[in-house]
A and B are shown apart, each in its own frame.
Chain A
């Protein structure tokens, strides 16, 4: 839900961000979670995203704020781009923060049951729960990989620059394998669903099978689309 709000608000509405942040923090505190740990987790997952976003200010050549001469390569930084990247980081971080929070507090199941109590259509609940499952796995996987990388990275002997380069490289590969892994897993989950009779329509225990199969699929696609936007909004202009 938070992700939805974050994605739909215009880029520079600071008030909304502040509000969201305080709501999330309040939730974290009220559920007695160690705040520092929550923040730390959220930041760890953010790292690969930041690395994607960093080149952005350099790519836009209009209205350069400052020209940097660096080993013969001239880089232009534009203020507006810088600001935009900052906001994008904030947005993504808020989403990740909420994800981490929810996976830690585990109200997902209860949330979903309460949704169906609120007469939200069964399909919607199914789609959300699938998405939910997915995000949880994704967060889990990325945490494992970051941890595994941390364990393997040898204490720096190459100095700061070398370490930074190394970090970028491994973050890139972490991100890459994350997506491959997510894709492979979605393939296997789909296979498992097929084996149990999944035929493109969503059916649920609670309601009778729904007719309008096509509408449902569009809905599912929409949700998947949102997921993808979440992954790709670094590229998405404005």
Chain B
């Protein structure tokens, strides 16, 4: 019981299947404490994205999920979505306004915040990702790296307790990857990163979850997983970096 108090995310026996398809998540259980930075790795199609969507209630899995002490159920969705931010794999899914500013302010407007507060938070979030000068830019004409940073700002502006990243470094060049790492490292929030990028995982996280075919096959220190070449190879992960 006491353990559940400190857990920001607690997942117990989570099952999920898309309509008329095989089970994608088969009995996942884990819990994450406040301030932890955890990587979720696993081969393509393992169910990482599906798991993240389940944690926000966007997909309705069965099992027990608590986020920030709240059961994941419909009446809690507004509160939960204020405390969990998800950065999508493709920033094109996340940026839909005609100005960067509006996209970053979007969630705040829906929280019914005052204008000064919105302007302030938006500014801060953009500064945190180094995009302050792009406030009036058109989101879909930015480069991929810039889009990804703005996408992060749309989540940061809401000041969530937990941030979920889906493949944050995919498609980025070495410099943009480093920039992401810098941003992620300074976050005080609980962070969950779904990635194939073991270099990123190692630089950011101390704990690793490995997901394969809907099962959680490893949950432990990242460093010891890195030593276990057989384990990594078995689950399509690469230690060569």
Contacts and interface: CB of A to CB of B under 8 A. Distances in A.
A184 to B, nearest CB: 9
Interface stretch (B32-40, B107-115, B194-202, B209-217): B107-115
B98 A109 contact: yes
A137 B92 contact: yes
A196 interface: yes
Interface residues of B, number: 34
A40 interface: no
Interface in A75-127: 106, 108-109, 112-113
B128 to A, nearest CB: 17
Interface string A110-154: 001100000000000000011011001100000000000000000
B138 interface: yes
Contacts of B106: 193, 196-197
Interface stretch (B81-89, B172-180, B181-189, B228-236): B81-89
Interface in B65-80: 78
A137 to B, nearest CB: 7
B97 interface: yes
Interface in A164-182: none
B194 to A, nearest CB: 15
B78 A197 contact: yes
Contact of B96 (A108, A112, A130): A130
B158 interface: yes
A209 B112 CA distance: 9
B180 to A, nearest CB: 19
Contacts of B101: 205
A136 B140 contact: yes
A195 interface: yes
Given A108-B98, A109-B98, A136-B140, A199 B110 contact: yes
**Main SS class of interface, B:** helix
Interface centre among B53, B111, B138, B158 (most CB of A within 10 A): B138
Given A195-B81, A195-B86, A205 B96 contact: no
B110 A203 contact: yes
Interface string B30-72: 0000000000000000000000010010100000000000000
Given A194-B58, A194-B81, A195-B81, A205 B102 contact: yes
> Which of B90, B97, B98, B118 is packed against the most chain A CB atoms within 10 Å?
B98
Contacts of B53: 191
B98 A197 contact: no
A203 B112 CA distance: 10
A108 B84 CA distance: 32
A175 to B, nearest CB: 20
A189 B106 CA distance: 13
Given A109-B138, A185-B92, A195 B56 contact: yes
Given A196-B154, A197-B111, A205-B118, A106 B138 contact: yes
Contacts of B105: 205
Interface of B: 53, 56, 58, 78, 81-82, 84-86, 88, 90, 92-94, 96-99, 101-102, 105-107, 109-112, 115, 118, 138, 140-141, 154, 158
Interface of A: 106, 108-109, 112-113, 129-130, 132-133, 136-137, 185, 188-189, 191-199, 203-205, 209
22 contacts: A109-B99, A113-B98, A185-B92, A188-B90, A189-B96, A192-B94, A193-B96, A195-B58, A195-B84, A195-B86, A196-B110, A196-B154, A196-B158, A197-B78, A197-B82, A197-B106, A197-B107, A197-B111, A199-B110, A203-B109, A204-B109, A205-B102
